[in-house]
Structures are given as C-alpha cells and as structure tokens.
Amino acid sequence: MSESFFKGKVAVVTGAGGTLCSAVAVELARRGALVALLGRTAAKLEPVAATIRAAGGVALPVSADVTDAAALTAVSRAIAAELGPCELLINGAGGNQADAVTTLTEFAPAELAGAPDTRGFFNLAPDRFLDVIRANTMGTVLPCQIFGRGMAQRGGGAILNFASMNSYRPLSRVPAYGMAKAGVVSFTQWLATYLAPAGVRVNAVAPGFFLNDRSRKILLTPEGGLTARGQNVLNHTPQKRFGEAQDLLGAVCWLLDGEASGFVTGITLPVDGGFLASSGV
C-alpha cells in the first residue's frame, strides 16, 4: 500500500470528533490528504484540526448534522470551494442513545409491570428508537448522496461506511443500533453495485469492541477493571483485548486506496480481534 495515493486528495470524514474517526482523519492527513472534518459539535473538531495542522497537514473543521440534507449540501459546496471536490468519503457519524437501550438482556415480567429502572423492549420509546435508526442509516445515506454525486460525475472515488459487530450478530440490549448497523452493511452492498459503472467503490469496516468514552463506561469499572459485560466480550475475543483506534487505520486506508484495493467493492471488513470467529465455547 503506497502512501502517495492519498497525497492531495480531498477526504471528508463524518463523525470526525469521535475517538475512531479522529484517528482516521489524522492518519489520512499524515498520508497527505486534505481533510474536511464533519461533526455536530465544533468544539470536538477543533482539537483534531489542531493536531493535523501541527503536523503540517491540512484540515477544515465544519459543523454539520449528517441527517440534514440541506446543511450537507451547503457544507459540500464550502468544502469544494476551500479544498476541492470530495474524492474520499468516510461515514463515521452515528451512535446510540441511552433511551433506545434496554436495561434487560432478556424478557422479564417486571417490564410489563412498569418496575422502576427497568426498560425492556416493550417500553422502549419509539421516537428514540427511530432517532438511532435515522442517525446511523440516513446519516450514512445522505452524505453518500451529496458527496457521492460529484464522485459519480467525475468518474471515480471511494466511500467507506462504518458498520459494527451488531451488523452480524444482534448484541443484547441494543436492538435499534443493531438494526441500523445491519442496514449499513446491506446499503453498502447495494450502493457498491449501483456505483460500480461510475468508477466509485463502496466498502465498510466493522469495528469490534474498541475503547472510547462511551464504551469505557460499559466495559470498564471506574477503577479500570472489567465489568461483567466487558469480561463477557473478552471471553469471546480470541486476542483477549479491546481495540485501540490505531488498530483500525490499516484496514481503513487499504479500503480507500484505489491502487491497493481497486478490485474490492461491496465488502464489510471486520476488525475485531477474532470476535466473529469465536463462539465463546
């Protein structure tokens, strides 16, 4: 894989203020890409931009909601005017909401009785469930429409979506997130087929259990030990550790690099320490 491929190319990274996509943005800039950082919160983008600029790279932080088509259209024009047209699109925006997560791992009569602090499937808030679906699915579809249009017009480019372990196996407690991420894999395959005549490749990565601000609270105790869920994850992970952002970069760059993976489109690549390969038995 040649680092020269990325030199001078315009890369748009959504969710660029997050743990994984901020690392992706920094790596693409290190390889010479001109990186537009998209996120809802400008304060989270500025430190990423500062890191890139301090290393001599080019970064343009832009605040935008990836589920707002009008805002994304305006942002795409601003990026094109400042950096040039998008050639590489990384769709990392998404996430979950606490009110769309059950407190139960399986049905219990307590949820029907309205027990306090008990949230099962039957009392999940439909609006919050829909919020998660919208953020992860339409938050992928709309950037593909708006930035992908220019790629199709120019006859080339690469799109990389973010799937999840939930795309393959519906993990307990997160039905909305699992449903959405399964949809991302299906959409990636569909769009890859659709855009192949335009010379645009579309792939996805499926991170395993990586540590970020949200997952640390779920997988680790305040003292740094493992929660029950964290221990269960490692029991099913042959490499016996959680992922770090750096573990994702090789896979991401390979899928984006048209010289290294030019005949690869429509796949979702797990980066999971062997989680999918292990039954835990």
> What are residue 157's phi and psi, to 5 degrees?
145, 175
Sign of CA dihedral 17, 56, 248, 203: positive
pLDDT tens by residue, 29-67: 999 999 999 999 999 999 999 999 999 999 999 999 999
- In whole angstroms, give the CA distance from residue 191 to residue 80: 23
Is the pLDDT confidence value at 1 over 80?
no
Q: Which candidate in 129, 147, 168, 177 is catalytic?
A: 177
Q: What is the CATH number of the domain that holds 13?
A: 3.40.50.720
> Does 232 lie in the same domain as 253?
no
Q: Treating both helix axes as pointing N-terminal to C-terminal, what angle do 139-154 and 69-82 enclose, rounded to 10 degrees?
A: 40
pLDDT value at position 189? 98
> Does 139 lie in the same domain as 15?
yes
| 155 closest CA partner among 96, 196, 216, 97 | 196
Judge whether 168 counts as a catalytic residue. no
pLDDT value at position 248? 98
pLDDT-based confidence at residue 211 (cuts at 50, 70, 90) = confident
pLDDT tens by residue, 225-265: 888 889 999 999 999 999 999 999 999 999 999 999 999 99
Is the pLDDT confidence value at 269 over 70?
yes
Is the pLDDT confidence value at 115 over 70?
yes
> Does 167 lie in the same domain as 38?
yes
> Does 192 lie in the same domain as 90?
yes
> Does 11 lie in the same domain as 62?
yes
Task: Classify residue 130: in a domain, yes or no.
Answer: yes
pLDDT value at position 220? 87
> Does 153 lie in the same domain as 67?
yes
pLDDT value at position 114? 86
Tell me the DSSP string of the chain: --GGGGTT-EEEEETTTSHHHHHHHHHHHHTT-EEEEEES-HHHHHHHHHHHHHTT-EEEEEE--TT-HHHHHHHHHHHHHHT-S--EEEE------GGGS-S-SS--GGGTTT-TT---GGG--HHHHHHHHIIIIIHHHHHHHHHHHHHHHHT-EEEEEE--GGGTS--TT-HHHHHHHHHHHHHHHHHHHHHGGGTEEEEEEEE-SB--HHHHHHHB-TTS-B-HHHHHHHHT-TT-S-B-THHHHHHHHHHH-TTTSTT--S-EEEESTTGGG----
- In whole angstroms, give the CA distance from residue 112 to residue 123: 8
> Does 152 lie in the same domain as 201?
yes
pLDDT value at position 215? 79
> Does 84 lie in the same domain as 122?
yes
Task: Classify residue 278: in a domain, yes or no.
Answer: no
Lay out the sheet containing 34-39: strands in order across: 58-63, 34-39, 10-14, 88-91, 157-162, 200-207, 268-271
Residue 221, domain extent: 212-242
Task: Classify residue 222: in a domain, yes or no.
Answer: yes
Task: Classify residue 147: in a domain, yes or no.
Answer: yes
More confidently predicted of 222 and 59: 59
Task: Classify residue 234: in a domain, yes or no.
Answer: yes
Q: What is the mean pLDDT of residues 205-230?
A: 88
> Does 257 lie in the same domain as 172?
yes
How open is the CA angle 90-275-247, to the nearest 5 degrees?
45
pLDDT value at position 221? 86
> Does 81 lie in the same domain as 132?
yes
Who contacts 73 (Cβ-Cβ below 8 Å, separation ≥6)?
146
Task: Classify residue 186: in a domain, yes or no.
Answer: yes
Is the pLDDT confidence value at 149 over 70?
yes
What is the signed CA dihedral for 18, 93, 26, 11, rounded to 10 degrees?
-170
> Does 146 lie in the same domain as 128?
yes
Task: Classify residue 281: in a domain, yes or no.
Answer: no
The proportion of the chain whose per-residue pLDDT surpasses 90, expressed as a percent, equals 89
> Does 140 lie in the same domain as 35?
yes
Mean pLDDT of the chain: 95
- In whole angstroms, give the CA distance from residue 13 to residue 89: 6
Count of domains for the chain: 2
Task: Classify residue 279: in a domain, yes or no.
Answer: no
